[in-house]
Amino acid sequence: MPQNNVMPALNIVFIASPGPFYGEETLRTNVLQVLKPIADEIFVITGNFPSSVSPDYKLHIRNIRYDNEKGSILTKVARHIALQFKIAYYLITVPRRFNIAIFYCAQTYLPAMMLAKLLKLKTINVATGTTSRLEMPNRYKIILSTINRVLERINYTLADRIVMESEAFIAFMNFGKYKRKIVVNGGRYIDTSLFEKRKSIRNRRYLAGYIGRLALGKGIMNFIKAIPLIQREHSGANFLIGGDGPLLQIVRGEIESRAFSDKVEVPGWISHDKDLTSYFNELKLLVLASYSEGLPAIVQEAMACGVVVLATPVGGIPDLVKDGKTGFILQDDSSECIARNIIRVSEHPDLEEISQNARGLIEKEYAFNIISEKWKHLLIELVLGKQKKADAC
C-alpha cells in the first residue's frame, strides 16, 4: 500500500465481452460493483449492457449493440472481428486521465489490448476460462480453437497482470509460465444476504439438479441418463434442470420421451435475483459434471444457500469443493459415475454439516469486503509500479 496514505488515481477502463452466455450479465455487474467504490472513475466498453445500470459522474458507459446468435459461423466470426475494432475505436476516445485497462471475459480482444499498451495503460486480463473450449461446429473447431488459443496467449503475454479466480485454476489452465504476473483474488463476490440458507437439507424437494447454461460440456445429457439409475435406489426422487441455452429444447424433448418425465422439472430461465435463491433452497444436491470451468458463480451461490455440490474437479472447483467436507467430487462425467455418487451422497450421514461448511466457506472467502480489498491492493500496487507481494502467487 502507498506510504503516507497518499492514494494514486485509479481511473479504470473496463472492457468486457458482450457474450450472451447464461449469467454473464450478472458477472459483469458484480465486478463493477466491487470496482466502483475503489475507483475514481470507470469507463465501461461492452455490449448488451443491462439498462438497470445507469451512468453517473463516476461511471461512463459505451454500450455496443451486438447480436451474434444467428447466421453462419463465418458471419459470426466477421461480426466478432468488427466488434473488436469497435471496442478499440471507443478505447481511443477515452480521456487520457485513465490509467488502467481491465479486460474481463475479453481474452481474445487483441486490437484493444495492443492499443491499450500503446496508450501506456496498465493492463489486467481477468482469466475466467478459455474461448478455445467453447462449443462450435466440428468442421471449424480445430481452426477456431487454434486461433483463439493464439490470441489468448498473445493477450496474456502483453498484460501487466493476469487475475485468476483461484489457485487450482492456474494449474488447470497450464499458466505456470505466467506465474510472475498472476494474482489470485477470488474473482467475484457473493451476496450472502441474497443467497442464504432458508431450509435444512432434509426438507428440500429435489434430490439433485443442475442450474446454469444448457450447453455442451456441462454434462447435462449424462445427468439425464443417470436418473433411471438413481431411481433404482430412490424411486420417488424429484429432479431439477434449470437454465437456458442451445440445449434447452433437446433437454425437454429427451425428458418428455422418458418414463420419469413427471419427476423432472425443467423451468427454463431462472431469474438470478428474484427466483434463484428459492430454487436453491429446494435443492439438496447441485450436479456439475463439466469438462471445463473457471470458478463457477453458480457453485458459489449454491453453496451460500447450503446446497451440497457434486462436481468434476476442473478449473477452480477443487478450491471450493473438498470431498466430504464442503461438497463432493465426481471421478468422471459418465452417467454411471454421476448416479453412483448421487446415491453415495444421499446416504451420507453428515450432509447438514457439509451444507453448513459450504456456507461458511463462502462467507469467509467471498464476501464483498474480502474481494474488494484484494482488488484495491492489486490496483494500487499496479499503478505504483511495485512488485507483487509474494503471497499474491
Cell numbers given for 381? 500496487
Confidence of residue 392 (pLDDT cuts 50, 70, 90): very low
Q: Note the pLDDT tens digit of each residue in 144-187.
A: 778 888 999 999 999 999 999 889 989 888 898 999 999 998 77
Instruction: At 134, give phi and psi (nearest 5°).
Output: -70, 155
Residue 22 pLDDT more than 50? no
DSSP labels, 340-389: HHHHHHHT-TTHHHHHHHHHHHHHHHSSHHHHHHHHHHHHHHHHHTPPPP
From CA 179, how far away is CA 393, in angstroms rounded? 7
Closest CA to 226 of 239, 215, 213, 236: 239
Q: Beta-carbon neighbour count of residue 212 at 10 Å?
A: 25
What is the arithmetic mean of pLDDT over 204-225? 95
Task: State what percent of residues in the chain have pLDDT above 90.
Answer: 70
Question: Which domains can be identified in the chain, with CATH numbers?
Answer: 3-189+367-392 (3.40.50.2000), 201-365 (3.40.50.2000)
Cell numbers given for 350? 453428515
Confidence of residue 325 (pLDDT cuts 50, 70, 90): very high
Residue 24 pLDDT more than 80? no
Under 8 Å CB-to-CB from 163, ≥6 apart: which residues?
124, 125, 126, 127, 182, 183, 184, 185, 187, 378
**Residue-level pLDDT at 306:** 98
From CA 301, how far away is CA 239, in angstroms rounded? 19
In this predicted model, which residue has the larger pLDDT, 23 or 19?
A: 19
Confidence of residue 29 (pLDDT cuts 50, 70, 90): confident
Min mean pLDDT across 139-148, 152-161, 260-269, 370-379 is at 139-148
Q: Which residue has the cell 466491487?
A: 34
Q: Which amino acid makes up residue 276?
A: L
Sheet-wide strand order for 100-104: 59-64, 41-47, 11-16, 100-104, 122-127, 161-164, 182-184
DSSP labels, 223-252: HHHHHHHHHTT-TT-EEEEE--STTHHHHH
Residue 53 pLDDT more than 90? no
What is the arithmetic mean of pLDDT over 364-390? 85
Confidence of residue 3 (pLDDT cuts 50, 70, 90): low
Min mean pLDDT across 108-117, 130-139, 148-157, 316-325 is at 130-139
**Residue-level pLDDT at 138:** 58
**Residue-level pLDDT at 184:** 93
Cell numbers given for 346? 444421499
- Reported as half-sphere exposure (CB side, CA atoms, 13 A), residue 74 has a value of 1
Q: Note the pLDDT tens digit of each residue in 273-294.
A: 899 999 999 999 999 999 888 8
The long-range contacts involving 85-92, CB below 8 angstroms and separated by at least 24 positions, are 85/111, 87/15, 87/45, 87/111, 87/112, 88/112, 88/115, 90/45, 90/62, 90/64, 91/13, 91/15, 91/45, 91/115, 91/116, 91/119
pTM for the full predicted model? 0.86
Residue 134 pLDDT more than 60? no
Min mean pLDDT across 14-18, 125-129, 234-238 is at 125-129
**Residue-level pLDDT at 148:** 85
Q: Note the pLDDT tens digit of each residue in 73-125.
A: 788 888 888 999 999 999 999 999 999 999 998 889 999 999 999 999 999 99
Residue 63, classed as helix, strand or coil, is strand
